[in-house]
Amino acid sequence: MVPILIVVCGVLLLLLLVVVFKLSAFFSLIITSLAVGVALGMPISDVIGSIEQGMGSTLGSLALILGFGVMLGKLIADGGGVHRISTVLINAFGIKNVQWAVVLIGFAVGIPMFYNVGFVILVPFVFAIAAQTKLPLIYVGLPMLASLSVTHGYLPPHPGPTAIGTLYHADMGLTLIYGIVVAIPAVIVGGVLFSWTLKGIHPNPPAQFMQADMPSDEVVPGFWSSLLTGLLPVLLIAIASGFTFVLPADSAALRVMSFIGNPIIALLISVFVAVFTMGIARGKTMQAVMISLEEAVSSIAMILFIVGAAGSFKEVLVDSGVGDHIAAWAGRLSFSPLVLVWAIAAVIRVALGSATVAGLMAAGIVLPLIESTQTSPELMVLATGAGSLMFSHVNDTGFWMFKEYFGLSIRDTILSWSLMESIVSVVGLLGVLLLDIYI
């Protein structure tokens, strides 16, 4: 039990550094990794080696995915693809079904784009839709933001799920397919149905947001071009995974599809397509497009360091041998490893605020359980991601973005945003447990 107690103390140290001393998550993770490694009896040189190994192995497979992902999101946003998708879907669904339209918009935009970027891009559309239809702002906005949050927490190629999947050695295609199955009820319950109960909350957003100008139809790309560009990496990954069920394992066609469906290659192809459809075809010069992509990559520098530091913490736990103790301890528990990893991720999320950090820390702690319990790594990814969304509150930037943009009090933000995040987290866990029965 002593190694496990050291890990618990390490997590508490991490919380102290972030919450009390306001230290960056990157520095906090590195300090915690050093402290836990030494406390577990590792020579300091070995601890430093584990930190270097964890940083390198984690970023080695993720740096390109994160970089290409943020490039794709930037191209779609700057090219006007988001506006086209929103306009067409709302016109097609009509005012009575506007919630289902914004859910699809959230999915289409959320899959290739970081949550914060998607939020800033889509919120003006929420305000414009609410103003034009005279529908309550929360009624229109919450379903869309639930979609953004769920795709951020559950689905590759987002950084959190992709990093967790890499640690678990999960099949990204299967993770994506299972994730969509779990995400749909989570968004319906947490976004659509829950918003119906919030009629007593009255947002008071800043006037400039309600008067946001929308680009004219003449300057934005077509609907199908915009939609297919945004969803292309998802389609390539899903199609490649589907072919594994119908083609022989030694098939040349399967090898080609597996190459195309690799998340890095799928995103690279998608970025090249977006350079044309959202850039060159819109009259932009190649130089202007490249400058935009450089700006996009620079925006995720700290995210890369934080993800790498979380990998370092994981590596220290693995190299110290504490993983074996965790596996032995967890093996005596009476509940599923899926529930355990969800609970660990949820506690860290509530304490730290970052869904990505919470998921990666939980993944490092429970990694030994996958082999020792034969639990599906794809479902472990989803359970971890679901836990990482639990009860966003004052230590989460998403909480404050929602509060300030919608002009809510802290109380009303908790009653709307925080509870929505909790609902999608719990529904996600229930969906994973249901899938576990049949997989």
DSSP string, 395-428: TSHHHHHHHHHHT--HHHHIIIIIHHHHHHHHHH
pLDDT reported for residue 37: 92
pLDDT (average), residues 389-418: 86
pLDDT reported for residue 43: 94
pLDDT reported for residue 208: 54
Residue 205 or residue 429, greater confidence: 429
> Quick check: is 389 in a domain?
yes
> Quick check: is 261 in a domain?
yes
Place of tokens 């779990």: 182
> Quick check: is 43 in a domain?
no
> Quick check: is 343 in a domain?
yes
pLDDT above 80: residue 325: no
pLDDT reported for residue 113: 66
Confidence of residue 91 (pLDDT cuts 50, 70, 90): confident
330 and 371 in contact (C-beta within 8 Å)? Answer: no
Residue 284 or residue 432, greater confidence: 432
pLDDT reported for residue 214: 56
pLDDT (average), residues 166-173: 88
Residue 216 or residue 163, greater confidence: 163
Report how many domains make up the chain: 1
pLDDT above 90: residue 196: yes
* Nearest residue to 206 (alpha-carbon basis) of 145, 148, 256, 137: 137
pLDDT reported for residue 143: 95
158 and 53 in contact (C-beta within 8 Å)? Answer: no
Residues 335-372: tens digit of each pLDDT: 788 998 999 888 888 866 778 778 887 887 788 777 77
Instruction: Tell me the pTM.
Output: 0.72
Residue 379 or residue 409, greater confidence: 379
pLDDT reported for residue 395: 67
Instruction: Measure Cα distances from 240 to 55, 152, 417, 432 in Å.
Output: 29, 22, 36, 23
The CA-based diameter of the chain, rounded to the nearest angstrom, is: 66
pLDDT reported for residue 368: 76
pLDDT above 90: residue 254: no
> Quick check: is 232 in a domain?
yes
The percent of residues above 90 in pLDDT, for the chain, comes to 29
Give the span between the Cα atoms of 164 and 157, in whole angstroms: 11
Q: Could you list the residue range(s) of the whole structural domain that residue 223 is in? A: 63-438
Instruction: Give the DSSP letter of residue 102.
Output: H
Residue 275 or residue 308, greater confidence: 275
**Cα 204 to the chain's mean position, in Å?**
28
Residues 36-58: tens digit of each pLDDT: 999 989 999 999 999 999 888 87
DSSP string, 325-374: HHHHHHHT-SS-HHHHHHHHHHHHHHHH--HHHHHHHHHHHHHHHHHHHT
Q: Which of 87-96, 103-112, 154-163, 202-211 has the lowest mean pLDDT?
A: 202-211
Which tokens hold the place of 297?
């990559």
Catalogue the long-range contacts made by 279-284 (C-beta closer than 8 Å, 24 or more residues apart): 279/75, 279/78, 279/79, 281/221, 281/225, 282/79, 282/80, 282/219, 282/221
DSSP string, 129-147: HHHHHT--HHHHHHHHHHH
The amino acid occupying position 269 is I
Instruction: Give the DSSP letter of residue 247.
Output: S
> Quick check: is 129 in a domain?
yes
> Quick check: is 8 in a domain?
no
Place of tokens 């067409």: 88
Q: CB neighbours of 59 closer than 8 A, spacing ≥ 6?
A: 304, 307, 308, 311
> Quick check: is 40 in a domain?
no
pLDDT reported for residue 273: 95
The amino acid occupying position 144 is M
pLDDT reported for residue 373: 77
Residue 383 or residue 362, greater confidence: 383
Instruction: Give the DSSP letter of residue 12.
Output: H
Which tokens hold the place of 75?
């191209």
Confidence of residue 211 (pLDDT cuts 50, 70, 90): low
Residues 68-90: tens digit of each pLDDT: 877 887 888 788 887 787 778 77
pLDDT above 80: residue 284: yes
Confidence of residue 63 (pLDDT cuts 50, 70, 90): confident
Confidence of residue 190 (pLDDT cuts 50, 70, 90): very high
